[in-house]
Structure 1
Amino acid sequence: MSDHNFRPNRRAVVAGLAAAALQAPNSATSAEEAPRLALRCRSDVLRLREKGPATEVWSFGDQPLRFKRSDRPEITLVNDLPKPIVLNWRGVDGVAAVEPLLVRSAVAPSASDNFRLPLRHAGTYLCDPALLGDGAARPFRALPLIVGENEPVRVDRDEVFLIEGWRLKPDGSAIAPGLDPEGTVPVYTVNGALTPEIRVRGRERLRLRFINGLPRHVIALKIEHADVTIMALDGQPAEPFLARGGALALAPGSRADVFIDVPPSPGNSPILMHDGDAGRPIAQLVRSDQAPLRNENLPSPVALPSNGLPARLDLKSALRVDLPFGGEQKDWLPPATFASTAPPAFRAKAGRTVVLSLINRASMTSVFHLHGHHFRLLDRLDDGWKPFWLDTIAIDAGQTQRIAFAAEYVGRWLMETVETNWSAPRLLRWYSVE
């Protein structure tokens, strides 16, 4: 199986991130009534091998959650599992009432929880039920959350690509992250399937929403025989730009919305993934025998509608905080022992800019995820920032990256770190905006 010369090393994958970057139907929305949604987490199976029994996982099913910007869905979470769960709404800014472990407690087996989820921003997000999943009896599946723009977006198709990774033992069972992966083999799925094929037509414009649902791996993605225009990162619109070399990198939990115009010439377009060890096809765009959808490609895409994040950040009067992690750090706690009574990493006044120096003292690449707010990645000289917003970033061993955000939303918010090793624990701290 060819990797098409797609061999970025781990440093290149991480650098690319900075440079390029159940089963529950949604109810109809009306002006008078908020959408209602029942989320039931239960045992499920995936076909991860051509032969042999299916692999047992814990899941909400296969259908992404879909809403519109400004929806305020009323959600009921039902736990049909033998262990407590809590939902981690990755990328959903400013909803302090759903912040896991700080406001929302874990839901016990056979219990339920009810809450409202105001969706002020359009974009691609993720409902992650695995915050308490390290070392569990089975791995969790994540659930895409798609919040549509209220303005029209000129595309022919809008497709979600949830990429997930599994570590299979010889008997076909899968282990959860946080456990030793020795004796297991990696298997990757897109929307729960092995190497799916998506039928497309020439000159069709696709919006592909890539989600890195792997718990510990930074990945690089490349679509063969197509120009890839990056439109949004971590749910927030960016000025459209071409992916360097046609490839983009995503940290665990990160998302990228890209546009491609399917070439009119015959031939298929494999979607390749590199996990830092090897490149492999994970899906394929299969060209239809029908004539191209139109005679000419659509005009170059314009930026997606803004979500209203600030155009400028006041770095001069910012609150500046050093935030080391990795190595011998006693302040970072695993979710199982995390308590909201622990002191915050910092407190910020509402409306102030915060600059965090993220110091990775671990011996390998680590991933940092900020709850509640999106941030800008600062230039080295503190004289500007990259032209996109993120909520997650991967940082090389021994390196420091500085990020800045406007502390807009009052509340208590988590921060997460994890090393890019399957057995590494996810660790938490929190901060306050007052």
Structure 2
Amino acid sequence: MTRAPVHLTRRHLLAGIGLATAGPAAGLRAQPQRPQTLAIDATPVPLRLGPNRDETAVWSLRTDHTPPLRFRQSEAVEVALHNGLPAPLVLNWHGIDGVPSIEPLTARRPALPGETDRFLLPLRQAGTFLCDARPLGDGLAQSSPAQALIVEERTPVEVDRDEVMLIEDWRLDAEGRPIAPGAGGKTVGAPLYLVNGKPSLDLTLRPNDRLRLRIINACQRNAIALGIQNLDVRVIAIDSQPAEPFLARNGRLVLAPGSRVDAVLDATPPAGTTSAVTLHDGGSPRQIARLHVSAEEPPRSAPLPTPAPLPSESLPARPDLKTALRVDVPLAAPGGTPTSWDVPTHFNMSSNPAFRVKRGRTVVLALTNPAATPTAFHLHGHHFRLLDRLDDGWKPFWLDTVLVDAGQTQRIAFAADVAGAWLVETMAVEWSAPRQVQWFAVE
């Protein structure tokens, strides 16, 4: 399918960004004998959108659990996905590595309208995950839905509050109806952002409270930056993988589409202080949340000490770059690269993989962005290190998504430690840009 190139009319704020997602490698553990059940019904539900907050029916992932979905590490979940939408549907689980049986398109065929897809979802690692129905979402009647998935650590983290901030963007047509991204769609206006399905999030903290804030960029295309005032923002995990705790500079976080960041915030300002959370997307900044310190009795006389690192499991400490398989991966420009990338609706396992690799070997991918705007790259089934420019080191966190600036190349390294057929995705950070995919084989 031929796609028209995207011509930008503004400069994107996200040049040279490296912060995105990370996730687990698959250390095998015995699963509980009695898996929990999770019924997911993809169906229209009412939501208030637009400047007048008019109620309209939007596509959603409705579940038999109160959102966000919460389970415990090492549990297994029997998922029953019923497609009540008028289009084929397949789920994508951001951050859950090493489970080839849940991989969209390569292992799970799309569920047709009216069908129910059943599969087992092992939750081997704790963290903040994202489930969405976006792989086939381009050009549909509406945007595809998303849900947060929280897997709690075996040993609870010392916090007073544990909250999710799931940020979604909506675009409306001239009649005020929500529309989907992708090339060839209708003209759209500025994005409308919702936090946990509402225009904003308000949280009240007691003095010296510790908040674990799980921030999820569930936007369809937009990369975003968040600024949190008056509070130290200490990052403890990125995209489902623990990070050595570090302070975000100036309380600022940048997230690619699909990225997740877990941050710890201590309510140390005086009672009555309100901290605004501001979203930046290259347009006018907008406030999307407020964190208010109340005058209630504090739970302790002093703030908690600096948090210890979360337990890290299974991922190698050092990637073996000397014996790595090295592959050049030109990312798809908005018009597509017909010899390598294709839209998900045209995906076919009979096509040649981008590469094949023996299980256990390190892979280094050179990601080159020929587009005129930053482009997101997402690796399925594995997580990677973002390498330094000369391959002489790497960033001290794990990712599964990275933004590659216009005309730039980023190198990533990962251990191909689980056999299977896995997707890679790319899309320019622009509403009209298509999502495109390839696959690779670990043998």
Which TM-score bucket, shorter chain as reference?
Answer: over 0.9
User: Which structure is richer in relative contact order (CA contacts within 8 A, separation 6 or more)?
Assistant: 2
The answer to whether the 8 Å contact 2:213/2:263 transfers is yes
Equivalent residue runs for 1:373-384 within 5 Å: 373-384=382-393
Is the aligned partner of 1:48 residue 2:32?
no
Which residue of structure 2 aligns with residue 171 of structure 1?
175
Q: Contact 2:207–2:295 at 8 Å: present in 1 too? A: no
Give me the whole-angstrom Cα distance separating, in 1, the residues matched to 2:413 and 2:53. 49
**2:153 pairs with 149, 153, 158, which one?**
149
- Pick one of 256, 259, 265 that aligns with 1:254: 259
Aligned pairs (5 A) from 1:123-138 = 123-138=127-142
**Farther-moved stretch of structure 1 (94-103 vs 257-266):** 257-266
Partners of 1:354 and 1:405 within 8 A in 2:
yes
Question: Unpaired segments of 5 or more residues in structure 1?
Answer: 1-8, 22-29
Alignment of 1:71-86 (within 5 A): 71-86=75-90
Take 1:87 and 1:183, find their aligned partners in 2: how far apart are those partners?
26
Is the CA contact 1:56–1:138 (under 8 Å) kept in the aligned structure 2? Answer: no
* CA-to-aligned-CA distance 1:116-170 (integer Å, 9 cap, x gap): 0112211111111121111111112211111111122111111111000011234
Q: Does the aligned pair in 2 maintain the 1:163–1:189 contact within 8 Å?
A: yes
Could you tell me which of 199, 208, 215 is aligned with 1:210?
A: 215
Question: 1:17, 1:248 within 8 Å by CA — same for their partners in 2?
Answer: no
Partner residue in 1 for 2:337: 329
Q: Tell me if the contact between 1:122 and 1:307 (Cα under 8 Å) persists in the aligned partners.
A: no
Matched, 1:272 2:278: yes
Matches within 5 A, 1:273-292: 273-292=279-298
Q: In the TM superposition, what are the counterparts of 1:307-318 in structure 2 within 5 Å?
A: 307-318=313-324
In structure 1, the residue matched to 2:423 is 414
Residues 21, 239 of structure 2: 8 Å contact kept: no
* Structure 2 CA distance for aligned equivalents of residues 202 and 185 of structure 1: 38
Deviations 1:6-46 (A, max 9, x none): xxx745x343544999xxxxxxxx95411111111100122
**Structure 1 residue 49, shift from structure 2 partner:** 3.6
Residue pair 1:41, 1:58 contacting (<8 A) in 2 also: yes
Runs of 4+ in 1 over 3 A off after TM superposition: 13-21
State how 1:87-166 maps to structure 2 within 5 Å. 87-166=91-170
For residues 79-128 of structure 1, give each alpha carbon's deviation from its aligned partner in whole angstroms, at most 9, with x where no partner exists.
11111100011111001001111110000111101100112211111111
Structure 2 distance, partners of 1:53, 1:78, is 28
Tell me the alpha carbon deviations over residues 324-346 of structure 1, each in whole angstroms, 9 at most, x when there is no partner: 02335111000111111111000
1:204-225 per-residue CA deviation (whole Å, 9 max, x = no partner) reads 1000000001111111011111
* 1:122 to 1:20, Cα distance in 2 relative to 1, 3 A: closer
The Cα offsets for residues 348-380 of structure 1, whole Å up to 9 and x where unpaired, read as: 111100000001111211000000000000011
How much does 1:172 deviate? 2.2
Give the Cα–Cα distance (whole angstroms) in 2 for the partners of residues 59 and 43 of structure 1: 6
Helix, strand or coil: the match of 2:315?
A: coil
**SS in structure 2 at match of 1:336:** helix
Shift in Å, 1:292: 2.6
Paired with 1:304 and 1:368, the residues of 2 have a C-alpha distance of 26
CA, structure 1 residues 106+264, in 2 after alignment: closer, same or farther (shift >3 Å)?
same
Would the aligned equivalents of 1:16 and 1:248 in 2 still touch at CA under 8 Å? no
Q: Aligned partners of 1:213, 1:310: CA distance in 2, in Å?
A: 28
Aligned length: 417
Report how far residue 55 of structure 1 moved. 3.0
Alpha-carbon contact 2:21-2:399 (below 8 Å) kept: no
Q: Match for 1:225 among 230, 234, 238?
A: 230
1:241 to 218, 240, 246: 246
- Which residue number corresponds to residue 8 of structure 2? none
Deviation (angstroms), 1:183: 4.5
CA contact (8 A) 2:20 2:399 kept: no
- The match for 1:351 is 360
> Partners of 1:309 and 1:52 in 2: how far apart?
45
Tell me the SS of whatever aligns to 1:73: strand
C-alpha deviation, 1:64, in angstroms: 1.8
Return closer, same or farther for 1:210/1:322 CA change in 2, 3 Å cut-off.
Answer: same
5+ unaligned residues in a row in structure 2: which ranges?
1-10, 23-30
Give the aligned partner of residue 4 of structure 2.
none
Q: In the alignment, is the contact (CA less than 8 A) between 1:151 and 1:305 conserved in 2?
A: no
Q: How does 1:175-214 map to 2 (within 5 A)?
A: 175-178=179-182, 180=185, 182-214=187-219
